[in-house]
Chains A and B, each alone.
Chain A
Amino acid sequence: MVRAQITVNGHVAPITPAAAHTTVLDFLRERGLTGTKEGCAEGECGACSVLVARPGVVKPTDWVAVNACLVPVAALDGQEVVTAEGLAAADESGAATVLHPVQEEMAVRGGSQCGYCTPGFICSMAAEYYRPDRCARPENDSADSADAEQGPNGFDLHSLSGNLCRCTGYRPIRDAAFAVGMPGGTDPLAQRREQPAPVPVATEYTQDDRVFLRRRTLAETLQVLRDRPDVVVVAGSTDWGVEVNIKSRRANCVIAVDRLPELRELRVDADYVEIGAALTLTEIERHLDGEVPLLTQLFPQFASRLIRNGATLGGNLGTGSPIGDSPPALLALEASVVLADTTGERVVPLADYFTGYRQTVRRQGELIRAVRIPRPLSPVVAFHKIAKRRFDDISSVAIAFALDVEGGIVRKARIGLGGVAATPVRAVRTEAALEGQDWTEETVRSVATVLSTEGTPMDDHRASAGYRSAMLGQSLLKLYAQTTEAVRS
């Protein structure tokens, strides 16, 4: 087997002697690339953001920003990484450093104060700078208030939602983001997008009796799952990375599934949409392009762009967390989970999938291959996430609605809830109370009292039980107000 190696800022480096759990962040820092910083070690602050070359949606390769603190360096065997240090170039004489356009804008506009978060911002900003479908808005485009998050240069501010700055208050960073132009023809990273992304490499990286594995096929991967009960499965490692860093968990065997071709398909059939379990949220968002409106509402509220660049539906369902953001939406969509093992596949409705706190019907040796969303889709949908912070927070409560309203009558209601029980749940009593009723304020007020009694919410540091219950009822009132306001306008 070829030794594990990684290309950093154009230079190939062996991964040895890093431990199997060593993160990209620690690997870079130990190599002297200390521009990449640790601010939180759990993918919340973005100080460790770096660029990774990934298969592109529009061009052969995308430059994708990820949290280096979460990804094991062995997961990037054979891959290409660029850090803030690698974005600046020496001038022709080699004497001075020529700043990258995003670095230049950040520097001259006062985008850095203490500077500690800055290299991470630079990498997130560079990823958006190189996004191939970013295009400047036409000049006569009338800006409305929503465009506070969309620059005249097409820069989507949500690309920076996973980066925290404690000093500036963000205004100069926004100005810098909205001032960057388009990459020039000779820009090496822009050119790199035209070539295929590095192929995934079968990896068996062992250090101190601990191993990091990547197999080429689903079949080989399932064999490992069958043979090693102690294996930890990772895709973007956005959950496992936190366990490693914060809870100091160490696994004897980790296997990566994020590049398995069988887990990376997205099909829109007549009867259902099937989403590969290892597609990242960002990829799903780009590929679906509004096909599933409820998911369109979910995406911007699901963690941050940095996390969405790594996180997958397979991972979000695999952890079985009661506060994952996708389950409420997928429950409302009546999605099913396709589980695979060495003996074959079975399809489990998501409503039957969760069995207890972080417990599911997934058996040892089984892997989530895909998620299926049946069609046709109900037309009245909403995803309400209740949290302290507007973006990139963990929900106190999440409520997803998918309703069929025909002739003023609710024909069908599916409501998924997160954060109100040990598992994500369907609000079945509320669904029953709504179905067959007139879609009127009177109905909604009456049924909201039912919805507010669903689940068994708790008091914790995110919210009180009382607030959580209140938010359930309020969400139905809000949905009704939104639909009727939409009708009026």
Chain B
Amino acid sequence: MSQLSQRPEKPVVGIPLPHESASLHVTGGALYTDDLVQRTKDVLHAYPVQVAQAHGRITALRTGPALQVPGVVRVLTAADVPGVNDAGMKHDEPLFPDEVMFHGHAVAWVLGESLEAARLGAAAVEVELDELPSLITLQDAIAADSYHGATPLMVQGDVEAGFADATHVLTGEFQFSGQEHFYLETHAALAQIDENGQVFIQSSTQHPSETQEIVAHVLGVASHEVTVQCLRMGGGFGGKEMQPHGFAAIAALGAKLTGRPVRFRLNRTQDLTMSGKRHGFHSTWKVGFDADGRIQALDATLTADGGWSLDLSEPVLARALCHIDNTYWIPNARVAGRIAKTNTVSNTAFRGFGGPQGMLVIEDILGRAAPQLGLDPMELRERNFYQPGQGQTTPYGQPVPQAERISAVWQQVQREADVAVRQREIAVFNATHPNTKRALALTGIKFGISFNLTAFNQGGALVLIYKDGSVLINHGGTEMGQGLHTKMLQVAATTLGIPLQRVRLAPTRTDKVPNTSATAASSGADLNGGAIKHACDQLRERLLQVAATQLGAPASDVRITDGIARALGVDGELDWDTLVRTAYFQRVQLSAAGFYRTEGLYWDAQSFRGSPFKYFAYGAAAAEVEVDGFTGAYRTRRVDIVHDVGDSLSPMIDIGQIEGGFVQGAGWLTLEDLRWDVSDGPHRGRLLTQAASTYKLPSFSEMPEEFNVTLLENATEEGVVYGSKAVGEPPLMLAFSVREALRQAAAAFGPSGVSVELSSPATPEAVYWAIETARRADTAHNGAAAGRQSAGRGPRADTEELSSA
């Protein structure tokens, strides 16, 4: 067992603990970026000038009228930028654009003594446009051949030969929606200037180092003149990985120009209309199965809706391709990807980062194919699982370690959810209830852990021990509710061998740990935990030497447990505080920088092959739904999950991530419905669901009535901090089980063996149309025609053929 994954005696990791800030959360004492405004004097408020047109070149921008509004201090425009007028890493996102690229694009910002003054000032700014044609939907972009960025192609085996060997060949098309992050805390930043003109920015950002980098290049200064701090975020989910930078740069620029603190906080509608979302995708596919339902070949094209700029669309697309296999062995595959350029917000990272989109395509294929192949969907899925020891690789060429866990979690969840018995009960229920149907579906996941871009797989930490024995840890990860800080405290206490309360954690700052990666890709605990452990290992080694001298034993015989140093075979003991104090007087360095990089990664983006992932996280879910045949409305009656987090660093935190990710995934797939004005009217391109009243998140009513989550036991992950696995993203995809259960319940209203197409999100209306289609299905013709389309939607799926080869 590697040193990194090995736990010492009485580890603090593995103990279920609530969030380290729980008491501050419940009392309202926890501070978020915008709460700091009340504690800062003379703050100016920044308000965006948003243009209500989808596309057009700016011909005039008159700020004079705004300056006449009482309380308006300044209007920021491109002319004010001392450095580079660019807010992104791809240099395609001007901070102050000369071309409006989407409805709601901010073209200038007004600084006011009050938010009200800034708002009125923004309303007074006059913008004139030369209107240009706009592409709003994926169909618009595909029809116009409007793409940007990379066009990866992933190939494995011989696809044509695979289809030639197939007994059944199916083709189809599937388009599905994106998702709004809807972190409860909208984007916010507060910038201040110190006596040397250096900038200090408090930002709600998952990526402080990149926020720092963008601010520096907008201001035309070096990175060491900019410090970014993030106390905590009120949710991130990927939406604050790349998107906060430009906003922070506005605050920084305003502070630099006025010398006063500048604050911005988007209101909900601004956040919804200005910031990027999960990419919606379009896919066309052709799949071949052998007579037993085993996949022989897959040929697919995935088109991601990138929005107006690239942002993170390329790596999102790469991850989508890398997850189209999910848990299934696809011997011959050819999957092409491209990024549509549309006049909508620039879509970005969102929990799963393309992985969910790739996996949804294959799960949709299997859900539609099962009735056509005459197989139970559970059986079809199981037959296609990766098998251990067969030399199978993913379509990008990476072996699948622990492939046996795919079946292990699947079988365990079947047992724990009592699936066989409940399937029979459901059959009885459905036979006696013409207007209500139930269904139980299982789906599994395999999710690759590590950033596809190898360089991002590094983390840093700084651990300080003070003379009184108290410990302060800094690391490069940010806290957005996922419990990273809780885990890091547990890691530090475990490595040093001291009680948890001896360790405190300082807010994430770029002047403590430089060049950090985004807290993203589920990697926060792996990377920063590795770095903290590295720093604490160094400190412990030094202290063991001190203790060895004091106790009269070799250092290798000394252990520090629960804050007491003891040596094997020696009676004496030394408490932590004394040990630290002794070390200080012996002039032993009591601080250490830690560093971690993930070993063994390899990725060639050109050939789209390699081993980009350190390991895979596995899980399986069984979801039971009940659908009302009159309306399509439904309830989730019960969900059981078995999920692999390695050996959990913090079980309560991990279960919280699994449950929360699942419900968020269910929201994406069933409820959350982004709608744009796609008409040619005056509001073309406007987001119609731009408020909490129209964009609905899961609430209590969507929580599974019975919700059982089990962590896979004895799951030590070699080569990862204390044997754990990443948990942030993978559970989101367990929600495929809800979607598949809805599909099966809708099918139950029709003749047996009917294949049902289901729009995504599967709103009650979408389910209703699926039911109607199933009811009308001709039993002789196996395979339902395309369902009726809901309003404002492009075709979700068209012809599907069943051919025999």
User: A and B, one complex?
Assistant: yes
A residues touching B (Cβ–Cβ < 8 Å)?
A: 19, 29-30, 32-42, 44-45, 47, 83-85, 87-88, 97, 99, 102-104, 106-119, 122, 145, 148-149, 157-158, 160-161, 163-172, 174, 242, 245-246, 248, 384, 386-394, 396, 459-467, 470-471, 474-475, 477-478, 481
Partner of B697, one of A115, A166, A246: A166
Q: Is B476 an interface residue (CB 8 A)?
A: no
Q: Specify the chain B residue showing the minimal Cβ separation from A45.
A: B692
- B661 neighbours in A (Cβ, 8 Å): 169
Which one, B182, B691, B703, contacts A166 given CB within 8 A? B182
Across-interface contacts of A87 in B (CB, < 8 A) = 27
14 pairs, CB–CB < 8 Å, chain A vs chain B: A39-B692, A42-B691, A44-B693, A84-B26, A99-B26, A112-B21, A115-B25, A116-B184, A119-B28, A161-B699, A386-B764, A389-B699, A390-B701, A474-B630
B23 and A97 within 8 A (CB): yes
- Take A246-B691, A390-B702, A463-B791 as given contacts and tell me if A108 and B18 are in contact as well, using a CB distance cutoff of 8 Å: yes
| Extra 9 A-B pairs, beta carbons < 8 Å, given A114-B185, A245-B267, A389-B696 | A36-B28, A40-B268, A109-B18, A110-B656, A112-B18, A114-B236, A149-B700, A171-B703, A389-B699
Q: Are A113 and B688 in contact (CB under 8 A)?
A: no
Choose, from B372-380, B480-488, B579-587, B738-746, the stretch at the interface: B480-488
- Binary per-residue interface labels of chain B (489-508) against chain A in the complex, 1 for a CB within 8 Å, 0 otherwise: 00000000000000000000
List of B residues within 8 angstroms of A462 by Cβ: 694
| Given A113-B481, A168-B659: A388 and B696 interface contact (C-beta under 8 Å) | yes
B771 to chain A, nearest CB (A): 10
Within 8 A of A (CB), among B652-704: 652-653, 655-656, 659-664, 671, 673, 675, 688-689, 691-694, 696-703
Partner of B663, one of A39, A108, A169: A169
Minimum CB–CB distance for A48 against chain B, Å: 11
Q: How far is the CA of A170 from the CA of B660 in the complex (A)?
A: 8
Considering the complex, give the chain B residue whose CB is closest to the CB of A88.
B27
Interface residue B119 (Cβ < 8 Å from any Cβ of A): yes
B224 interface hit (Cβ, 8 Å):
no
Beta-carbon nearest neighbor of B237 in chain A: A166
Please give, as numbers and ranges, the residues of chain B lying within 8 Å of A88 by CB-CB distance.
26-27
Residues of A within 8 A of B35 (CB): 29, 34
CA of A163 to CA of B19, assembled, Å: 20
Q: Chain A's nearest CB lies how many Å from the CB of B440?
A: 16
Across the interface, A114 reaches (CB within 8 A) one of B29, B39, B234, namely B234
A residues near B232, Cβ cutoff 8 Å: 114-115
Asked if residues A169 and B27 are in contact (CB atoms below 8 Å), the reply is no
> Residue among B480, B663, B675 with the most chain A CB within 10 A?
B663
Q: Is the CB of A99 within 8 A of B27?
A: yes
Question: Given contacts A107-B22, A157-B700, are A467 and B675 in contact (CB under 8 A)?
Answer: no
List of B residues within 8 angstroms of A32 by Cβ: 38-39
Check B184–A461 contact: CB distance below 8 A. no
B50 CB → nearest A CB, Å: 13
Asked if B675 contacts A461 (CB within 8 A), the reply is: yes
* A119 touching B26, Cβ below 8 Å: yes
Min C-beta distance of A331 to chain B, whole Å:
21
Are A113 and B19 touching (Cβ within 8 A)?
Answer: yes
Q: Kindly state the separation between the CA atoms of A328 and B435 in the bound complex, as whole angstroms.
A: 25
Residues of chain B within 8 A of A83, CB atoms compared: 28
Indicate if the CB atoms of A459 and B692 lie closer than 8 Å: no
4 nearest CB pairs, A to B: A35-B28, A114-B481, A116-B234, A115-B25
Bound form: Cα–Cα A156–B36 in Å: 35
Q: Which one of A40, A42, A110, A174 lies within 8 Å of B18 (CB-CB)? A: A110
Checking B184, B480, B701 against A47 with a beta-carbon cut-off of 8 angstroms, the contacting residue is B184
The reply on B32 being an interface residue by CB < 8 A is yes
How many residues belonging to B are interface residues under a CB distance threshold of 8 Å?
84
CB of B788 within 8 Å of the partner chain: yes
Tell me how far the C-beta of A444 lies from the nearest C-beta in chain B, rounded to whole angstroms.
12
- Give min CB distance, B672 to chain A, whole Å: 9
User: Which of chain B's residues have a CB closer than 8 A to the CB of A19?
Assistant: 116
Minimum distance in angstroms from A138 CB to a CB of chain B: 22
| Complexed CA–CA distance, A170 and B656 (Å) | 9
Nearest chain A CB to B177's CB is how many angstroms away?
12
524-581 of chain B: CB within 8 A of chain A? none
Nearest chain-A residue to B123 (Cβ)? A248
* Minimum Cβ distance to chain B for residue A391 (Å): 4
For residue B482, which residues in chain A have a CB less than 8 angstroms away from its CB?
Answer: 113
B235 at the interface (CB under 8 A from A): yes
A-B interface pairs (CB < 8 A), number:
262
Residues of A close to B792: CB separation below 8 A: 459, 461, 464
Is B691 a contact partner of A44 (Cβ separation < 8 A)?
Answer: yes
Q: Which residues in A have their C-beta under 8 angstroms from that of B628?
A: 478
Instruction: Across the interface, name the chain B residue whose C-beta is closest to A35.
Output: B28
B237 / chain A contacts, CB cutoff of 8 Å: 166
Docked complex Cα distance between A474 and B628 (Å): 11
Interchain CB contact under 8 A, A113 and B656: yes
Closest chain A residue, CB of each to CB of B21: A115
Inter-subunit contact A34/B184 (CB<8 Å):
no
* Given contact pairs A44-B692, A47-B184, A164-B692, A112 touches B671 in the complex (Cβ within 8 A): no
Cα–Cα distance between A391 and B671 once the two chains are bound (Å): 12
Which among B26, B233, B236, B481 has the highest number of chain A CB atoms within 10 Å?
B26
Contact with A along B17-51 (1 / 0, CB 8 A): 01101111111111110110011000000000000
- Restricting to B593-634, which residues have a CB under 8 Å from any CB of A? 628, 630-631, 633
Query: Do residues B768 and A470 form an inter-chain contact, with CB atoms below 8 A?
Result: yes
CB <8 Å contact, B656 and A168: yes
A85 surroundings in chain B (CB, below 8 A): 27-29
Asked if B383 CB lies within 8 Å of chain A CBs, one says no
Query: What residue in chain B is nearest A247 (Cβ atoms)?
Result: B269
What residues of chain B lie closer than 8 Å to A42, measured between beta carbons?
268, 691-693
In the complex, the answer to whether A33 meets B701 with C-beta atoms within 8 Å is: no
Cα of A394 to Cα of B664 in the assembled complex, Å = 21
Contact residues, B172-188 vs A (CB, 8 A): 181-185
Is there contact, CB below 8 Å, between B24 and A115? Answer: yes
Q: B466 interface residue, CB < 8 Å from A?
A: no
Q: Looking at the complex, which one of A33, A44, A461 makes contact with B673 (CB distance below 8 Å)?
A: A461
Residues of B within 8 A of A164 (CB): 184, 692, 697, 699
Report Cα–Cα, A477/B435, bound state, in Å. Answer: 10
> How long is the Cα–Cα vector from A391 to B233 in the complex, in angstroms?
28
Q: Is the CB of A114 within 8 A of B183?
A: yes
| Residues in A neighbouring B269, C-beta threshold 8 A | 246
Asked whether any CB of chain A lies closer than 8 Å to the CB of B635, the reply is yes
Closest to A147 in B: B705
Known: A106-B26, A168-B659, A389-B699. A29 touches B693 (CB 8 A): no
Chain B residue, CB-CB nearest to A157: B700
Closest to B181 in A: A166
B703 engages A113 (CB within 8 Å): no
Any chain A CB within 8 A of the CB of B790?
A: yes
- Beta-carbon contact of A37 and B184 below 8 Å: yes
A113-B660, A460-B688 known; A161+B696 contact, CB < 8 A? no
* Distance to closest chain B CB from A486 (angstroms): 14
Determine if B692 and A40 form an interchain contact, defined as CB atoms under 8 angstroms apart. Answer: yes
Judge whether A463 and B28 touch: CB under 8 Å. Answer: no
Interface status of B160 (Cβ within 8 A of chain A): no
Kindly state the separation between the CA atoms of A103 and B655 in the bound complex, as whole angstroms.
20
- Nearest CB on A from B586, distance (A): 36
Chain A residues whose C-beta falls within 8 Å of the C-beta of B31 in the assembled complex: 34
What B residues does A393 contact at CB under 8 A? Answer: 696
> Which residues from B are CB-within-8-Å of A475?
630
Minimal beta-carbon separation of B758 from chain A (angstroms) = 15
Provide the bound-state CA to CA distance between A475 and B628, in Å.
11
Asked if B268 contacts A390 (CB within 8 A), the reply is no
From B114, which residue of chain A is reached at the shortest CB distance? A19
Residues in A whose Cβ lies below 8 Å from that of B23: 97, 99, 103, 107
Nearest B residue (CB) for A387 = B764
Q: Which residues of B contact A44 (CB under 8 A)?
A: 691-693
Please state if B764 and A167 are interface contacts (CB–CB under 8 Å). Answer: no
A115 to B19, CA, bound (A): 9
Per a CB cutoff under 8 Å, which of A163, A169, A471 touches B631? A471
